[in-house]
Amino acid sequence: MKRTLQASAVALSLLAGCATVPKPSMCFAEAGPNARSFPTPDTWFALLLHGYDKDTGANPRPSVDCAGAPVWWQDPAADECVEAGPDSQALPPAEKLSEEDLVLETLQAGQRLVWVQTRRFTNGEALGPVALVESTEQGFRVEALGSLRAMAKHTKLRLEKVKGTPILVAEGDACTSGDEEVCRRHARIMPLRTNRFFSESVSNASRACLGAAWFPLSREMTFELPNGLRRKFELTSTLTFAEEGISVQEQVQVSDSDPAQPDVAPRLYRRAQDTRNLELAKNALVGNKASLWSRMVEQQVRIGARAVPEAPIWAMPAKKAPTDAAAPEAASKAQAPATTGAASPPAKAAAKKPAGSTATSSGP
């Protein structure tokens, strides 16, 4: 009996010791001294992307990270949350990756945040694997991994800590094209749990979704009011991180203008400000209220205002024209009804189909 108790005590001590052993790295790539000191973009692409070929530089499709997980993202939809995620469409993935598809941020000696952008969206965002990478005497070791979707221009990555949990913060710009470039900054936050960066929505205390963990630091939206006026909303916000939680300070300015009098300056209608707090709970980001922006926009919808669609940052590419080989066949089909003098049933069916009903995929 005594031996059994001693054996049990030894087993328990071994289990306790195992619990303190650090988890093995998720991915590893050997590299010589020169490669460790001066890594090229191909080094990071090969480290984070499964199946990447340095010789061709081709963008692997579908995108799979080095641990074998699909590179994937899903923001909350309008019918799931108080405020949906950003509205955008996925652009066709690039054939090859270049230095423009890489974001590097050095945290300290031998430690980096690395983001590879494998796909872009019409609102200026990009999607791809993100990793916390350590340099070793043998090469590069991935300590944490995930999929990140954030603004792709002027991107800055950093780690904050809340209640002992690291938080990945990705800030980037969405910039308009044209004669005068206007950039608006946005932030994504992703908690690091064990060895994965998670995309968690913000929920209330009852776990009902309030919105994505996506925070426009500068934003504009215009509404057409039922009386013909235009109402413009302008948002500025800041994120503050502390050990006890995250605070989001929002300021919104609202002004009205008359399209029939373009020379008359907009009139200030309202100013509002508020602060909401986010708590890092177990497997969730918990907020004490919905954003000020979503509450003010909801008021406009209730009075019958219509949002003016925002122009995409990157437009969808034009559809390819039919090939020369297919052109004669299409022309002969178009002439066939004219020779008989009768309308073709397929043509009637096509006429009834509403415009813009072609389905497009927005996933990665």
DSSP state string for 310-356 = PPPSSPPPPPPPPPTTHHHHHHHHHHHHHHHT---HHHHHHHHSPTT
Do you find a cis peptide bond into 166, omega within 30 degrees of 0? no
CB 266 within 8 A of CB 257: yes
Q: What is the pLDDT of residues 97-132, one digit of tens each?
A: 999 999 999 999 999 999 999 999 999 999 999 999
pLDDT, position 353 = 36
pLDDT at 196 over 60: yes
- Supply the pTM of this predicted model: 0.79
pLDDT, position 24 = 54
Q: What is the pLDDT of residues 151-195, one digit of tens each?
A: 999 999 999 999 999 999 999 999 987 777 889 999 999 999 999
> Which residue would you say has higher pLDDT here, 362 or 32?
32
pLDDT, position 359 = 35
Q: What is the pLDDT of residues 309-336, one digit of tens each?
A: 887 888 778 776 655 555 445 444 444 4
Cross-strand partners of 250: 237, 274
pLDDT, position 285 = 93
pLDDT, position 15 = 37
* Mean per-residue pLDDT over the chain, rounded: 83
CB 150 within 8 A of CB 169: no
Q: What is the pLDDT of residues 56-99, one digit of tens each?
A: 999 999 999 999 999 999 888 878 888 888 888 999 999 999 99
Provide the CA 59 distance to its chain's centre, in angstroms: 19
pLDDT, position 306 = 95
Tokens 């108790």 label which residue? 5
pLDDT, position 80 = 87
* pLDDT-based confidence at residue 350 (cuts at 50, 70, 90): very low
pLDDT at 351 over 50: no
pLDDT, position 176 = 84
What tokens were used for 116? 């590879």
pLDDT at 357 over 90: no
**What is the Rg, in whole angstroms, of the alpha carbon atoms belonging to the chain?**
26
Q: What is the pLDDT of residues 239-257, one digit of tens each?
A: 999 999 999 999 999 999 9
Three-state DSSP state, 99: helix
